Amino acid sequence: MLAVFGLVAVGCSSSNDSGTVKSGSGTTVTTSGKPTFAAGTTMANLQAKGKITVGVKYDQPGFGQRNPTTSQIEGFDVEIAKLMAVGIFGGTVADAANKITFTEAQSANREPFIQNGTVDMVIATYTINDTRKQIVDFAGPYFVTHQDIMVKATDTSIKSVNDLNGKKVCSVTGSTSATNVKAKAPTVDLTLFGTYSDCAAAMSDGRVVAVTTDAPILAGLVQASSGQFKLVKAPFSDEPYGIGMKKGDDAFRSFLNDRLDAIYKSGEWASAFSRTLGAIGLDTPTPPPVDRYTSGAVTSTTGASSTTSTTR
């Protein structure tokens, strides 16, 4: 208990009542009662306000997608948001979920919304990279995906990225997936479409023999193909997804990282994964270690960013 207390105190500069168990405790569902935080921290402010605004995807199957029959947003990112909220408000997952206001995170608004405080954090298949780190900070990663390959279910010739050399392969314009595959298989014959569903269509009529991008996107396509396609499961390249938050709020970042460690240990992370991404056919991996990097100074940048996340 003392160790836990110490970790928390260092991590997020909070003072803790003896009755409150907050992190690293192995409690699966909840912490009893309200966690307490040092005044002035983001956690304390959010708790006082009784609400937190989180940017998530509304159109990414498995991660964040709005279900029109229930009007609820569903997916792994949404579950992570709820588990983070439990760390701030205490109580059950359902209680904490009631305190979350979800907002759609689009590629156009992610950074501005974090910077101007419209959202408190963004959990939206948001790849951690150095360009973005110049204007926002990331807790996590809470998930590392890999680029993978999708082929027709009957195909046995493609077993790894090397086998793509000389083959007609589909990806999406302006994505890092295209660049990655070109680096690993230099003689690949790339066809670039606007969307991945176009790629899937091109593969079913034989214009391409494989499609490559982040595994979860491919998993969604495999599921929608009703047995026509399969995942090769030969991952190459890493795409670490992080929790985007305001730059320089180190206390909040440490808190979120601690909270991630806690849900890794408690098994809540794995259970959230199997309920969401597991349902579209992904095996539950071991959680990635969080990266407690030192946030650099805010450097101003000019010029358009050249990095485009493969998952929008």
**Residue from 26, 112, 166, 289 in contact with another protein (CB under 8 A):** 112
Q: Look at the chain and count its residues.
A: 312
* Alpha carbons 223 and 215: distance in angstroms, whole number: 12
Find out whether 169 and 175 touch, Cβ atoms under 8 Å. no
Q: Which of residues 187-206 bind another protein (CB under 8 A)?
A: 194-195, 197-198, 201
Is residue 109 within the footprint of another protein (CB under 8 A)? yes
Piece of 36-44, 76-84, 249-257, 301-309 that binds another protein (CB under 8 A): 301-309
- What is the token pair recorded at 150? 């999708």
Residue from 14, 47, 103, 276 touching another protein (CB under 8 A): that is: 103
Contact between 155 and another protein by CB under 8 A: the answer reads: no
Q: For residue 204, which amino acid is it?
A: S
Of 44, 80, 122, 135, the one binding another protein by CB under 8 A = 135
Contact region for another protein (CB under 8 A) — 44-52, 56-64, 157-165, 256-264? Answer: 56-64
The answer to the question of residue 281 lying near another protein (CB under 8 A) is no
Distance between CA atoms of residues 216 and 30, nearest Å: 29
70 binds another protein (CB under 8 A): yes
Q: Does 65 bind another protein (CB under 8 A)?
A: yes
Which 210-269 residues touch another protein, going by CB under 8 A?
Answer: 224
Q: What whole-number distance in Å separates Cα of residue 146 and Cα of residue 142? A: 14
Exposure letters 119-146 (e unless 16+ CB within 10 A, then b):
bbbbbbbbbbbeebbbbbbbbbbbbbbb
